[in-house]
Amino acid sequence: MNSGQTIFSQLMEFLPIYEFRQCVNRYNGNYKIKSFSCWDQFLSMAFAQLTYRESLRDIQACLRAAQNKLYHMGFRGKISRNTLANANQARDWRIYADFAQVLINIARPLYAKDNFGLELEQTVYALDSTIIDLCLSLFPWAKFRKRKGAVKLHTLLDLHGSIPTMIFITHGKIHDVKILDTLPIEPGAIYVMDRGYLDFARLHKIQQSSAFFVTRTKKNFDFRRLYSHEAHKDNGIQCDQTIVLMGFYSKKDYPEKLRRIRLIDPETGKRIIFLTNNFILPSQTITDLYQCRWQVELFFKWIKQHLRIKAFYGTSENAVKTQIWIAISIYVLVAIVKKQMKLELSLYTILQILSVSLFEKMPLYQVFSDQNYKQLMSHDSNQLNLFT
């Protein structure tokens, strides 16, 4: 790369500009726009994410301080707080949602062969949601509770590389299980979910789509055992059974056989019961799959720690969704850079390096080549690491 370019402009070269323009044209994002295009908006918000800016005024002050470098960083419009605020409120958030999906489609093949702890040929997804609390008086559209607002990030995470394949952003009152109605099911894939997604009619649709699920059962679970299989009790597995549902509605919703596995956690002594439609994998693999579901929890904690998705630059629904989708785009972009440049650093370390070097003019590979940076890969137990 050209050493005369800033680190920021070199980083943005990893983005597919043609696909971005397609996303903009799809929603007429630059219609009647004379200056400060959607690309300028994306660059400004990307800069804010990478440098941990706290507010629109903060973004404006930092970028104006480097006014002579902005053109070479890709900016063509004048940076101002009001212009960026209006853009976040008026430009369709679906532009950035679609572009994030473009980046996800680039990242997934790069991480397809990464090991997540289990060697399986099938694609394994973890489905879960997280809540981002908001002030109801400032965000009246974000309904959650009587005196509290929130948005939910419903995320389908590919466990190979912890890449989010699909994200649905809703207000806080939407129940998790309803996301299964809009989720396209991939035949042969395994979907790992917690008890919040236990709905037998929706699980049967996964079965009919030739896919598999692994979840947990609730206490009021009515069933009849058909067969018992050999259980590896040395690993805490108490039983491995083939069952059918006995409840009137549940049997109607899911008329086929299911597999029930009961595990006693050797550490806590807690009894955990798993339910799946996969009769091929060993019972130990089923329990290990559910344990791998915690990668999606780690993903949520990581992006809340290191990306700007808890303090928002605007209060409208469009502004909030725009900021979240651009934050996800930056997460995936850094994951792409890590893989394509074959970096051994963690995402945390890469982000920390970028946050203090975006205005530097030196080759991008050089900024990551200093061996001392490896000391930044925090081993503190309080520090969450992805892609280490």
Mean pLDDT by 10 residues, the chain (388 residues): 77 95 94 88 93 90 86 83 92 96 94 82 91 89 89 92 89 92 93 93 95 89 89 82 92 94 85 93 91 88 81 91 94 93 89 90 85 48 44
CA distances from residue 93 to 24, 39, 50, 107 in whole angstroms, order as listed: 10, 13, 20, 21
CA distances from residue 347 to 96, 155, 304, 318, 386 in whole angstroms, order as listed: 22, 19, 14, 28, 6
Evaluate whether residue 304 is within a structural domain. Answer: no
Evaluate whether residue 175 is within a structural domain. Answer: no
**Domain containing residue 346:** 7-96+317-376
Closest listed residue to residue 103, CA positions, set 92, 111, 91: 111
Closest listed residue to residue 162, CA positions, set 288, 274, 303, 50: 303
pLDDT number for residue 94? 96
CA distances from residue 173 to 152, 169, 300 in whole angstroms, order as listed: 8, 12, 19
How many structural domains comprise the chain?
1
Burial class (CB in 10 A: 0-12, 13-18, 19+), 82: exposed
pLDDT number for residue 113? 82
Measure the CA–CA gap between 328 and 345, rounded to whole angstroms: 19
Evaluate whether residue 386 is within a structural domain. Answer: no
Evaluate whether residue 264 is within a structural domain. Answer: no
Measure the CA–CA gap between 58 and 64, rounded to whole angstroms: 10
Evaluate whether residue 47 is within a structural domain. Answer: yes
Evaluate whether residue 17 is within a structural domain. Answer: yes
pLDDT number for residue 323? 93
Residue with tokens 């918000």: 45
**Phi then psi for 251, rounded to 5 degrees?**
-65, -35
pLDDT number for residue 373? 52
Evaluate whether residue 43 is within a structural domain. Answer: yes
12 neighbors 366 (Cβ within 8 angstroms): no
Evaluate whether residue 58 is within a structural domain. Answer: yes
Angle formed by the axes of helices 317-340 and 38-51, nearest 10°: 70
